[in-house]
Amino acid sequence: MKPEIAKLGYLSLVTSDLEKSLWFFKEVIGLEETTEINGVHYLRAWGDFQHHTLSLEQGDRGYVRHIGFRTKAPEHVLEFKQLLEDGGIEVEQIKAWETPGIGEAIRFPLPSGHTFELYYDITRPEVEEHRRSVLKNQTYKSWAKGISPRRFDHVNIHSSNDSAEAYDFLENVLGFKMREFLRGDNGDVIAGWMSVTPLVHDVALVIKPDLPTPARLHHLSYWTDDSQDILRAADILREHNLEFVGPGKHGITQAMYLYVMDPGSGCRVELFSGGYLIFEPDWEPIEWLEAERPLGNTYWGDSIQDKELNKITIEA
């Protein structure tokens, strides 16, 4: 049997203004800081269980170092390493706990140009009593500050590289399942929503030939419990004088959304709620045609496609 990925883990983000990014993610979005080590800040939402789902550090510009995923079993990390190397892909092995909270890991490039990391072993740090939830099945107190999303949900990445190779790698090497996809007028798949969980997507990959660099991040996403949380988020963002797009509802995924930019890194964050889950073992991917793209992007509400904000992506 092939090794398997269990879930999306974390995103390593570099920012050109660490102070602004920490204010944005901690005070506005409402993430909790697990720890800070050697200038790197490790954050997670109140319902995230592993050490962190976002790391932030100072750099000369905003960009993504890598995106981490947890495997289903400890042995799958090295099994993926062998599988990738057999396919001619250069793999970097990361010593256990070199990244705080993350055990032995591997990093490698995708055909899209993005860097993924795979690991299994994690730590679940104890939370200080004044921040800890009384619920044994929850990490932090909910609604302690800011928008306060429950958990890390997905990433949306863009690439100008060959689409067939990129989707084939995600599906046939890493084991992601195509859930919904957009077919261009030329017959190529130009956007795919893919997952290893019952979510419609743990990762979305969009092909755009005119990007400034081959691999980009369109957004990272945190999950809120319901639509009222999205409306509350809009109020909070307005109070902080932050420009945003939404609320609206996607046709693809059927989820409610709101998009806002981190003023420090230029990274777009989506607040996400609703949608549907996939439990059918024989699920057939849903095909959308390019003429249907507006409906797929925006079922109703404020559309990101009409905004200048949509053109901004960061290097990944």
Tell me the pLDDT tens digit for each residue of 106-140.
Answer: 999 999 999 999 999 999 998 999 999 999 999 99
Specify the CATH superfamily of domain 5-119: 2,3-Dihydroxybiphenyl 1,2-Dioxygenase, domain 1 (3.10.180.10)
Domain 153-315 matching CATH 3.40.630.30: the answer reads no
Q: What does pTM read for this prediction?
A: 0.96
The lowest-confidence range among 18-32, 51-65, 177-191, 299-313 is 299-313
Contact call for residues 250 and 288 (beta carbons, < 8 A): no
What pLDDT, in 10s, does the model give residues 20-61?
999 999 999 999 999 999 999 999 999 999 999 999 999 999
* Domain parsing of the chain, residue ranges: 5-119, 153-315
Give the pLDDT confidence score for residue 305 in this predicted structure: 73
Q: Which residues does 148 contact at the CB level (< 8 Å), separation at least 6?
A: 30, 45, 46, 142, 224
Closest CA to 206 of 186, 185, 222, 188: 188
Kindly state the DSSP code that residue 140 receives in the 8-state scheme: B
- CA atoms of 93 and 77, how far apart (whole Å): 10
Give the pairing of strands 40-44 and 255-261: unpaired
Would you call 230 helix, strand, or coil by DSSP? helix
Contact call for residues 256 and 247 (beta carbons, < 8 A): yes
Which residue has tokens 């506005």?
A: 28
